[in-house]
Amino acid sequence: MAYFNEKFKRARLDQSPYLFHFVNGRDKNPGETLLKILEEQKLKSDKGYICFSASPITAIKKFFETKTNSTGNPLYHPFGIGFSRDLLVRDFGARNVIYTDGTEFIPESLKWRTEKLDVDCYDFEYLREWRIKERVFDFSKFPKGDMIVIAPDTNSLNHVVVKFDMEFTPYIDYYNEEIEPDWTESFTREWKGIAVDDLEEYLDDYAVSGSTASQVIGEDMASNLFSIRALNVISKK
């Protein structure tokens, strides 16, 4: 049965192997917020649950450009993380949101995953929301190979997925037999990722997943910074 499920999932362009968590549109520094999330490897919420979207990243580029009437900002910024849907469901208890009109009886054990639905004034079903019942989701043990980082463009992507460091490599000066200091720049991939600006090249999210399969955590990025000069990454340190 799993084989057929996978086959038909891939046949639909509105499906994704990921559940996405994006930075709130009210955030004034979304790139730095995402960088902090990745450094701490934690998602936090005071609601008692962490929210995700099942909407394919390849289908919602315009969503990040649409402003809300109340704030004049987009609902979410194009900065986020995609987690393997199957792993979030199987190992971390992710569940899809249940929509209710507010008058139906909901057991206490299910209230955390319910959302009001009023098609005339309060309808967020289009977010295709999923949740994990936690105030803090520690994803430090989540396989990095089953995650992708989302950023609006290649420069922003480099800023969050590539770690810049200076490696101390001393050597012996054979003329005076003294140890001389030497420093080497290193650029290492910390996360897999893709830029929203590049999504037009892909048919669906399964194609995105396939394209990032060749990205290797820990690989040397000095000569392959997504075609962006190394200088753009140095500001991360």
CB atoms within 10 A of CB 153: 15
Q: Find the mean pLDDT for residues 179-204.
A: 84
Q: Indicate the pLDDT class of residue 220, thresholds 50, 70 and 90.
A: confident
Convert the pLDDT of each residue in 25-77 to its tens digit. 999 999 999 999 999 999 999 999 999 999 999 999 889 988 888 888 899 99
Confidence of residue 212 (pLDDT cuts 50, 70, 90): very high
Place of tokens 């200091």: 181
User: Rounded distance, CA 102 to CA 118, Å?
Assistant: 9
Segment 131-140 shows an average pLDDT of 97
Q: Which residue has the higher pLDDT, 164 or 230?
A: 164
Alpha helices in the chain (DSSP H): 2-10, 30-40, 85-92, 154-161, 205-212, 231-234
State the pLDDT at residue 20: 98
Over residues 106-130, the mean pLDDT reads 93
β-strands 114-116, 98-100: how paired?
Answer: parallel
- Does 169 have pLDDT greater than 80? no
Domain boundaries, the chain: 2-138, 152-234
pLDDT at 167: 58
